[in-house]
A and B are shown apart, each in its own frame.
Chain A
Amino acid sequence: MTAGPIYGLMAEFETPTELVEAAKGAYAAGYRKMDTYTPYPLEEAAEAIGAHHNRVSLIVLIGALLGMIGGYSLEYWVSVVNYPINVGGKPFHSWPAFIPVTFECAVLGASLAAVFGMLALNGLPQPYHPVFNSPNFVRASRDRFFLCIESQDPRFSPSDTRKLLESFNPEEITEVPY
């Protein structure tokens, strides 16, 4: 038992099935500020804790549009406005020739948006996080499944929450200090 405030209570499970059960139970019990930690993407877990919606797609769409518009307007401005030259008797605004670059710019914008949007929403890079304090957490990236109910949750109380978690008979329950 550590003194002082803790980040939350961490329950460790052997199988994904147990984890999902536990998560569902906690959610039903009214807990919201909690998270699961798994070695590979586990859609069921996300649904169980009600975190299966995100805004990545929207960001990507915006990125794509910006890239597209940016690309074409660059070409137009350069070839028609800023420094128009007669090239092989082709019109200044040779739109068919401008398509490939426009397309590439759109893809580039979208991809950058996807990656950096995702990282931003995830708050990465994040060198320090309390969950790493829990002793066995290294296995979260190997073969163990963790559920953590955070002390920020209004319903959180060290005793009741621990009871609730024990009801899902995990391998182990640890307090996660800050």
Chain B
Amino acid sequence: MAPVEQIDVRPPKGVRPPIIGPGQTLGTVTDRIAGIVLTKHTPMFWILIVALAAAIFGMLQTAIGYLLAKGVGIWGINIPVGWGFAIVNFVWWIGIGHAGTLISAILLLFKQSWRTSINRFAEAMTIFAVMQAGLFPLIHTGRPWLAAYWLFPLPLTMGVWPQFRSPLIWDVFAVSTYFTVSFLFWAIGLIPDFATLRDSAKTLVVRRIYGMLAMGWRGSARHWNRYETAYMLLAGLATPLVLSVHSVVSLDFAVSVVPGWHTTFFPPYFVAGAIYSGFAMVLMLAIPFRYLYGMQDFITLRHLQNCGKLMLATGQIVAYSYAMEMFIGWYSQDKYELAMVNNRLHGPYSHYYYMLILCNILIPQSLWFNSVRSSPAKLFLVSVVVNTGMWLERFVIVVMSLQRDYIPSSWGMYWFTKWDMAIFIGTMGFFTLLFFIFIRLMPAISIFEMRTLLPQAKVKE
């Protein structure tokens, strides 16, 4: 299906762009979105991207195979730096997931109708990101084949159980719950749209497949009524959940005694950072998507601008957190905290810290300008920078804190290996692969919710 228009119409100053393009009807909305899925013709760019992603995914599998064969020693980790890329990537990916839930749940509760056109793929992004994240805690253990089930409270012959005081166990519960809830949320959102696909499908096979997925949905008023309640409740549940997940992740660090980890304000700090990077990722996906599929009518500049504003806001919280981290370190006058601050500023890894400040605080300030917020290209660049910065933040926290803790004789360095890199890049490939397959097989924009945005969808008194 050829894109309708390829160029952005920059609106006159002060006029807020609409959240849905002019001239759309219930029918056109349905056809445009369902069309992406139901068309027989697969666009060339899709094939190229998926091929590339699949190749990178292959590299990931190879790397993990080698890892299982050899042991985590193929990575750069050591004593004292027992955690490296694996945990950095874990926190990074899980953070990225957060924006999806935020958009679909919190903005829903706040009745932000503009969320409608982006929530579907934002949720997909969440699920795929959490899948990447979930990979790391498992493979980073010395004996994954045991960790895979010993971390869950299953009855074993030895009668031993997980140790519930460990933040890692909290992680297991938090992340698995997060994944389950995000998935359910996403799945029930799809049911009515599957019904639409079922009914507009041209071939029997396709109709059967989507028919099964739609579970016999027929849009009955009673169903819609319960559906809406459940959907709202899920949103209500997902909201505290999304806040709790990154808080729990931050407790992995905050609970420990390591200077630079042992900090009470990590939970809000981490949550803000998570949403920050999450919106950056939403933009990194939305901007190419609307361009490639000509969705400018549904994902309008208004959406991009709003994401930009949210990034700006969360970015300020993050900046504040960095400032406080250093301030408290100094204010405590505790010799180990002071050494931590000093190590951030002058230690062997200080250049990472300064790059982090550049990426996460300085460059994003450009979002104050409407000109940046209204230019998809610029927004895209800023998003890339922010996601880089968020990765650096986790590197700084994990590695720079472990590298110099209490006993000077045990201070050490950390160098990542090619295998660290291979697995990190690999997860990106895996993520892209999943995302584009999703776009091809499922409506990337919630059709039934889009309908509600149309003027003719309202009941006139």
Contacts and interface: CB of A to CB of B under 8 A. Distances in A.
B160 interface: yes
Nearest to B224: A41
Given A52-B225, A54-B226, A104 B159 contact: no
B148 interface: no
Nearest to B215: A125
Contacts of B434: none
A148 B195 CA distance: 19
Contacts of B165: 79, 87-88, 90, 94, 97
A15 B241 contact: no
Given A121-B226, A142-B26, A143-B27, 20 more contacts: A38-B219, A40-B219, A42-B459, A46-B224, A54-B226, A74-B153, A79-B164, A82-B159, A90-B165, A100-B170, A104-B241, A108-B181, A110-B237, A111-B184, A118-B188, A118-B226, A118-B230, A139-B199, A141-B198, A141-B200
A164 B10 CA distance: 52
Contacts of B36: none
Interface stretch (A128-136, A151-159, A167-175): A128-136
Interface string B222-235: 11111111100110
B216 A126 contact: yes
Contact of B458 (A16, A39, A100, A121): A16
Q: Kindly name the residue among A49, A90, A101 whose own CB sees the greatest number of chain B CB atoms within 10 A.
A: A101
Contact of B233 (A36, A57, A90): A57
B249 to A, nearest CB: 11
Interface string A6-34: 00000000011100100000000000000
Contact of A37 (B196, B219, B459): B219
Interface stretch (B14-22, B303-311, B312-320, B448-456): B448-456
Interface string B159-179: 111111100011001100100
Q: Kindly name the residue among B162, B237, B244, B457 whose own CB sees the greatest number of chain A CB atoms within 10 A.
A: B237
B452 A112 contact: no
A71 B169 CA distance: 13
A125 B177 CA distance: 24
Given A98-B164, A141-B196, A143-B25, A114 B233 contact: yes
B241 to A, nearest CB: 5
Interface of A: 15-17, 20, 35-46, 49, 51-52, 54, 56-57, 60, 71, 74-75, 78-79, 82-83, 85, 87-88, 90, 94, 97-98, 100-101, 103-105, 107-108, 110-112, 114-115, 117-119, 121-122, 124-129, 131-132, 137-143
Nearest to A60: B233
A111 B226 CA distance: 14
A49 B198 CA distance: 27
A2 B460 CA distance: 36
Given A39-B451, A101-B173, A107-B240, A141 B161 contact: no
Main secondary structure of the interface of A (DSSP, over half): helix
A132 B251 CA distance: 53
A51 B161 CA distance: 48
A146 B221 CA distance: 10
B329 interface: no
A101 B458 contact: no
Interface of B: 25-27, 30, 153, 159-165, 169-170, 173-174, 177, 180-181, 184-185, 187-188, 191-192, 195-196, 198-200, 211-212, 215-230, 233-234, 237-238, 240-241, 244, 248, 251, 448-449, 451-452, 456-460
A101 B161 CA distance: 14
A122 B223 contact: yes
A143 B342 CA distance: 64
B130 to A, nearest CB: 14
Given A16-B457, A142-B30, A35 B229 contact: no
Nearest to A85: B163
A138 B200 contact: yes
A100 B452 CA distance: 38
Interface pairs A-B: 8 shortest CB-CB: A125-B215, A143-B26, A118-B230, A126-B216, A138-B199, A97-B165, A100-B170, A41-B224
24 contacts: A37-B221, A39-B26, A40-B448, A40-B452, A41-B227, A41-B448, A41-B452, A54-B222, A60-B237, A71-B173, A79-B163, A79-B165, A87-B165, A101-B169, A103-B244, A104-B177, A107-B177, A107-B240, A115-B234, A119-B215, A124-B191, A124-B215, A125-B216, A143-B26
A138 B238 CA distance: 33
A122 B237 contact: no
Contacts, number: 202
Contacts of A118: 188, 226-227, 229-230
Given A141-B199, A142-B200, A127 B216 contact: yes
A87 B222 CA distance: 53
A91 B251 CA distance: 20
A39 B153 CA distance: 44
Given A40-B457, A42-B459, A97 B164 contact: yes
A128 B216 contact: yes
Contact of A40 (B27, B181, B225, B451): B451
B224 A111 contact: no
A124 B222 contact: no
Contact of A39 (B215, B233, B241, B448): B448
Contact of A142 (B185, B199, B223, B240): B199
B248 A78 contact: no
